[in-house]
A = this chain, B = another copy of it.
């Protein structure tokens, strides 16, 4: 097995981070020093980087079945003295993982702080987390899914057909020939490259000189710029990769299947014990966003601790390797690791934290919002809280500091999800309007929707879901019945309920306007009970006790069935 390590294992042996490479990667995840060859994930891994090798002991190994140092079809079988070729036994992702596990144990590590993997590496990371739940504290699975889509599978099939129908393939026994199935393998690689890029990134890269093929030495078509690029990539690939490895690894990929429906995926996720971080990229069509959501949904439904960010990107699947996308996926991964180590006490935080700008940990006290104190007072200790539209996580952080150990957020904005993950919170990126189906019945005691109701289109669905997921729902919203708003309308103008400066009827993000009386009527109609009502005046910062519908501009309602 070929592997490389970076940094030092701590005396407690609790700072080890295992990184899995993707289909055609190798153990050289990062350069070891300034003179070293570049690593394939230099943007993420290194001293002072997101995965900081000054703090973590990083391990990366070439996969079983590969051709970059670890035993694979091209290796010599010691029993026969000949290369394995087609006699190399079929392998699956679990086999690949088991060999890595033996490596990790041999390095004296019983339990990993974290595993990080993208693409095929993500599948391996998930397999480990599910089959060896007590040997890893956190898993970051990036640009991956529960299994290949049928479309991705189809591309792999065509790629293998190209390799195996190459006359030089000779049933896999080509090692003694002058040349192996280089044409078929090059065509397979061309196909792969198309799936790693996105439609947008290909247009950007090749549109300017679309009809100008680069002059390269190749037997493939070079009429178009994209064609000569693919020809170049195909020809280059056959110099460093073995066709039998390509077959073995894509077959392992294609056979991997965490589950084809929600029940199976939940059963799989239920076996894990680690914290999860899932990251997807919007233009990735090899492992599309909806697949990450399936995994996240299953993790949520299994009541695992999970965070998820669906990064907007036009770089396709390859985004997870690119520097320009690293502030978000790197920031998420770095914060995830940092908070894992804080929870486990494995890193001395006294001077470590706050100095690393690239991890972006912020310690500034959250800005006070008038309804937070009241919401906190309405929530009994030790209860489980879900905060919908949790923003940068201030309320959740206060709950966590107060000792609630099961707090979770849902947020739609990428930058705010990042802020929550920086704070060590579990947050999943999702549009409330699209429902909360992944959460199970009574999964939380309280589901909070603080000052978010006014921005939601599907009010009925969201409130109904809140009362399915939680025993109680806490809803706060601006009260259109407030006397100031009434007098604004009385004077002939639409009430200005959005407190943000410059926000008026035509540019506010608010879309729903209601009074306390409206909400009470809504609850009556729907058969919800109102347990508590705290009316606030944010101008005086006082609780309003009389004629709330007139005197309060914000209200917090606790409702249930």
Contacts and interface: CB of A to CB of B under 8 A. Distances in A.
Interface of A: 149-151, 153-155, 157-158, 160-162, 164-165, 167, 183, 187, 190-191, 194, 197-199, 202-203, 205-207, 210, 219-221, 223-224, 226-227, 230-231, 251, 254, 257, 260, 285, 288, 459-460, 480-481, 485-486, 489-490, 492-495, 504-507, 511-518, 521-522, 549-550
Nearest to A316: B151
A151 B514 contact: no
5 contacts: A154-B194, A158-B230, A161-B220, A210-B260, A490-B490
B550 A153 contact: no
A485 to B, nearest CB: 7
B459 A507 contact: yes
A88 to B, nearest CB: 17
Contacts of A154: 190, 194, 202, 226-227, 230
Contacts of A150: 199, 202-203, 205-207, 210, 226
B489 A518 contact: no
A486 B494 contact: no
Contact of A506 (B191, B227, B512): B512
Nearest to A463: B506
A86 to B, nearest CB: 14
Nearest to A255: B211
A514 B494 contact: yes
A285 B506 contact: no
B165 A224 contact: no
Contacts of A504: 518
A495 B153 CA distance: 55
Contacts of A489: 480-481, 485-486, 489, 495, 515
A521 to B, nearest CB: 8
A199 B288 contact: yes
Given A151-B199, A494-B514, A157 B187 contact: no
A522 B506 contact: yes
Contact of A187 (B165, B220, B251, B285): B165
B506 A226 contact: no
Nearest to A161: B220
Closest 7 CB pairs of A and B: A459-B506, A511-B511, A150-B202, A157-B227, A492-B517, A505-B514, A151-B199
A155 B194 CA distance: 8
Nearest to A157: B227
A466 B206 CA distance: 36
Nearest to A497: B513
Centre residue among A219, A504, A506, A521 by max chain B CB count within 10 A: A506
Nearest to A194: B154
A438 to B, nearest CB: 19
Contacts of A506: 459-460, 512, 514, 522
B153 A224 contact: yes
A513 B513 contact: yes
A231 B154 CA distance: 11
Contacts of A516: 492
Contact of A157 (B230, B492, B511): B230
Given A202-B154, A210-B150, A522-B506, A165 B220 contact: yes
Contacts of A550: 492
A493 B506 CA distance: 22
A24 B202 CA distance: 26
Nearest to A220: B161
A199 B205 CA distance: 24
A160 to B, nearest CB: 6
Nearest to A254: B224
Contacts of A485: 489
Contacts of A513: 494, 505, 513
Nearest to A206: B150
B157 A224 contact: yes
Contacts of A165: 183, 187, 219-220
B194 A151 contact: yes
